[in-house]
Amino acid sequence: MKRPITAQARHGSVARAITDGLIVLATVDVAAPPERVFRALTTDEVERWWGAPAIYTIESWKADVREGGTWSLIIRLPDGTALPAHGEFLRVSPLEIVQTRRYDFDHPTLGRRPTRVTTTLTPIESGTRVTVRHEDFGSSEAAHEHAGGWERFLDWLAAHAMTDRPSDKVVLGKHTAVIAAHADRERIRRFYLDVLGCSARVMTDEVDRFQLEDVHFCFVYQSTALDESAFTRAIYLELAADAPDEMRRKIVASGVKTLDLPDPHLYFQAPGGQVFKLVGTNEDLSLYESSTSSKPGSSAHAASGAAR
């Protein structure tokens, strides 16, 4: 039974597709952020999830993911038959991929006719809503056949994202910060340089940056500082998370005290008093290792905002 293209496709973790014989619309909700889904769709990672041994598998994926770039792959049937296909990227952005598709063999319903596919990635609370619009079939038979194919494709994608999500590992990082009084500067320098054997990366009236192996200590000197017994004057432990945005929401929602510091990162005081700074596991934090400013994060944040 033909379903009109104006019908509303149901969203969910199970893929759904509809067609009027001219256009196919397909959708699925994927439990992964858009950038993760984009990578799964545009890199040779597709060879890990696109297909099934009893139906077909994908190999030899190649892609120049940019406007005007091309892509190609080989569809391998269970009997070993190789069926090549290729296309061109017409438009590429983090939330949309527009491309052409063409079989380099005589497909039973489509032949070698080029078609157009628009894939949209919409951020949602549970991850990403993937919506596919496939058009220019030239025949209703080809459209109906590909509607079923897109349901399989999106189900495979969603299953891959569920089983191949980034780990939830959280570790302590290597950057620390201490708010200290100017009167303590020489005592701090003697201890960290002479006692601990740190190397000095930066030493100014405003900030000292010391390094011990791969651990970095930063001391920001102020005219007044809290009493030594206060945790906010102690070392701020760096908490590195694979999914920092999600972890930030969890931390804030737990009701901990957050600290207002000149830095775009989240600083919070955990139960018991320890202060943490939250960063991403793979975030570039080199700015905090060599800056002569006591507010490097704030300056970079402001500059990036001005550039936008």
Instruction: Give the model confidence (pLDDT) of 134-163 as tens digits.
Output: 999 999 999 999 999 999 999 999 999 877
Q: Which two tokens stand for residue 156?
A: 């495979």
Which of 163, 178, 206 is a domain's end point? 163
Residues 132 and 39 grouped into a single domain: yes
Q: Count the domains in the chain.
A: 2
Length of the chain (residues)? 308
Residues 40 and 131 grouped into a single domain: yes
Whether 286 maps to a domain, the answer reads yes
pLDDT for the residue 138: 93
Residues 29 and 150 grouped into a single domain: yes
pLDDT for the residue 187: 83
* Helix (H), strand (E) at residue 288: helix 287-290
Residues 201 and 99 grouped into a single domain: no
pLDDT band at 13 (very low <50, low <70, confident <90, very high): low
Q: Give which of 49, 16, 3 is closest to 151, Cα–Cα.
A: 16
The answer on pLDDT for 294 being more than 80 is: no
Amino acid at 79: D
* Helix (H), strand (E) at residue 276: strand 275-280
Q: Which two tokens stand for residue 119?
A: 């894939």
pLDDT in tens, 156-175: 999 998 776 655 667 767 88
pLDDT for the residue 183: 84
The answer on pLDDT for 300 being more than 50 is: no
Q: At what angle do helices 34-42 and 140-163 cross, to 10 degrees?
A: 120
The answer on pLDDT for 234 being more than 90 is: no
Q: What CATH number has the domain bearing residue 135?
A: 3.30.530.20
Residues 25 and 107 grouped into a single domain: yes
pLDDT for the residue 87: 97
Residues 152 and 178 grouped into a single domain: no
pLDDT in tens, 73-89: 999 999 999 999 999 99
The answer on pLDDT for 5 being more than 80 is: no
Whether 119 maps to a domain, the answer reads yes
pTM as predicted: 0.53
Using an 8 Å Cβ cutoff, are 247 and 208 in contact? no
Q: Which of 16-30, 63-77, 173-187, 221-235 has the lowest mean pLDDT?
A: 221-235
Whether 221 maps to a domain, the answer reads yes
3-class SS of residue 184: helix
Whether 215 maps to a domain, the answer reads yes
Whether 8 maps to a domain, the answer reads no
Residues 28 and 157 grouped into a single domain: yes
pLDDT for the residue 231: 67
Domain that holds residue 116: 16-163
Q: Give which of 196, 226, 221 is closest to 208, Cα–Cα.
A: 221
Using an 8 Å Cβ cutoff, are 100 and 91 in contact? no
Relative to beta strand 275-280, strand 237-241 is parallel
Order across the sheet with 170-172: list the strands. Answer: 170-172, 237-241, 275-280, 266-269, 257-259
Cross-strand partners of 119: 97, 132
Which of 163, 183, 204 is a domain's end point? 163
Q: Which two tokens stand for residue 61?
A: 């994926």
Q: Which two tokens stand for residue 151?
A: 């349901």
Cα distance between residue 118 and residue 127, in whole Å: 19
Residues 26 and 130 grouped into a single domain: yes
Residues 244 and 105 grouped into a single domain: no
Residues 284 and 253 grouped into a single domain: yes
Q: What CATH number has the domain bearing residue 268?
A: 3.10.180.10
The answer on pLDDT for 97 being more than 90 is: yes
The answer on pLDDT for 8 being more than 50 is: no
Q: Which of 186-190, 213-217, 222-226 has the lowest mean pLDDT?
A: 222-226
Cross-strand partners of 218: 177, 209
Whether 116 maps to a domain, the answer reads yes
3-class SS of residue 219: strand
Residues 284 and 177 grouped into a single domain: yes
pLDDT for the residue 305: 41
Which of 163, 195, 212 is a domain's end point? 163
DSSP states along 236-254:
-EEEEESSHHHHHHHHHHT
Whether 3 maps to a domain, the answer reads no
Residues 206 and 258 grouped into a single domain: yes
Whether 179 maps to a domain, the answer reads yes
pLDDT in tens, 175-213: 878 788 888 889 888 877 887 788 999 999 999 999 978
